[in-house]
Structure 1
Amino acid sequence: MTGGELTLGAVPARLEEREREITAQAETMREQITRLTAQLDELGRAAEDVRITRKTLLGLPDPAGADKSSGQVTVLIAGLRLCRSSPSMSSPAGGMKAS
């Protein structure tokens, strides 16, 4: 018998061990899916917020004689604040945690 062979009595024990390994891997993957689903939902909400903000800004009247470059800076700063306030944008890798 070589080192890779199992006796008939050892097969059920090895199968049980393998079943536990697979069950543990499946549970780990379920946890990852749960975390990724939450992150995906968060990103979807953030994208919707950006769409609403863009639509709102496009709907604002253009004030006559306003300095457009000053307004662009204000909007840029507000946009940066919006991005920084999102938890997914402030953590490494866009909110993904290493597991």
Structure 2
Amino acid sequence: MTGGELTLGAVLARLEEREREIAAQAETTREQITQLTAQLDELGRAAEEVRITRKTLLALPDPQPPAPPALKLPDHPAYRQIMTVFTAADHPLRARQVCEAMDLEIAPNNVRLKLKRLADRRILAETEPGLFTRPRQQSPGIQP
């Protein structure tokens, strides 16, 4: 045999070495597969939790906005009379006009104080100084 020729022992040694390399690569690949399988299982569990959460949230009723508290008029009967005037009015009123609508002796200062008190409680709105009206979004429940 010449120096370039391989002997049967050398070929077998190279094959054995190649077999060990392939076995090592296969073992590394199996370990990677095990790790990836664990990651895949974890992702599957997380996706299922998201699906359950979404299903639960969709099954909940739509939340209703809280009802605004009922507006409470002061106890004096004049306030009920004033509110009757504003219920019938289709435009903002001044204290003098409220007095006239209630057939009162003209005492706008006294009525103006009551109108201001109603505006402070948000039962009426003062659109400009001395001019009062019912708010646009009047609560349906004004309690006497």
How far is 1:2 from its partner?
Answer: 8.4
Trace 1:27-46 onto structure 2 (pairs within 5 A).
27-46=27-46
Q: Deviations over 1:34-71 (max 9, x none)?
A: 000000000000000000000000011111126xxxxx
Q: Which structure features the higher share of helix residues?
A: 1
Unaligned runs of 5+ in 2: 67-144
What TM-score, normalized to structure 2?
0.41
Trace 1:51-66 onto structure 2 (pairs within 5 A).
51-65=51-65
How far is 1:24 from its partner?
Answer: 0.2
RMSD: 2.0
Unaligned runs of 5+ in 1: 67-99
How far is 1:29 from its partner?
Answer: 0.4
Structure of greater Rg: 2
What TM-score, normalized to structure 1?
0.59
| Sequence identity (%) | 83
In structure 2, give the amino acid aligned to 1:16.
Answer: E
Higher RCO by CA contacts (8 Å cutoff, separation 6 or greater): 1
